[in-house]
Amino acid sequence: MKKWLFAAGLGLAMAASASVQAADSIAVVNMGNLFQQVAQSTGVSRTLENEFKGRASELQNMEGDLQSKMQKLQRDGSTMKAADRSKMEKDLMAQRQQFQTKAQAFEQDRQRRSNEERGKLVTRIQSAVKKVADDKGYDVVLDANTVAYAGSSVKDITSDVLKQVK
């Protein structure tokens, strides 16, 4: 019986030791914060804004023109000849359709480029996390936003990863 109690006690001690060792090899990193800071420092939003500035301004001009023509039709439509009003309505519908098509293509292109840039940033951050984890000997790195609780023994390596990315 004493052997069983000794074996059980030894097993509990080993399990507690393993959990302490496991806590030493686990770190957390705030991926959302990192992503935001890296995106700001690399100027990704400015790059995308400059890339799509011309098309955005063209769409704004088209929208302004479309709105002014719609206002003119509402204002003068009752006094116009039926043929002129009908022609203007058809032109407006064609212009609205062209605007919607261009706006949709613009939005899709902007979203695609945004995703490409986001993917590049995520890859850079992930490789920096891996490097910091390897350098500091962490076996597991978790996103701080997905962890319900992390005790004081779990290290936050967000600042180290940020230094590595920059």
Instruction: Determine the pLDDT at residue 17.
Output: 41
Instruction: Determine the pLDDT at residue 3.
Output: 45
pTM to 2 decimal places: 0.65
CA distance 94 to 162: 51
pLDDT exceeds 70 at position 148: yes
- Give the tens place of pLDDT for each residue, 19-59: 444 556 899 999 988 888 888 877 888 888 899 999 999 99
CA distance 15 to 156: 24
pLDDT exceeds 90 at position 152: no
DSSP state of 144: G
Q: Which domains are seen in the chain, by residue range?
A: 27-164 (3.30.910.20)
68 versus 13: the higher-pLDDT residue is 68
Mean pLDDT of all residues in 72-90: 87
Instruction: Determine the pLDDT at residue 24.
Output: 66
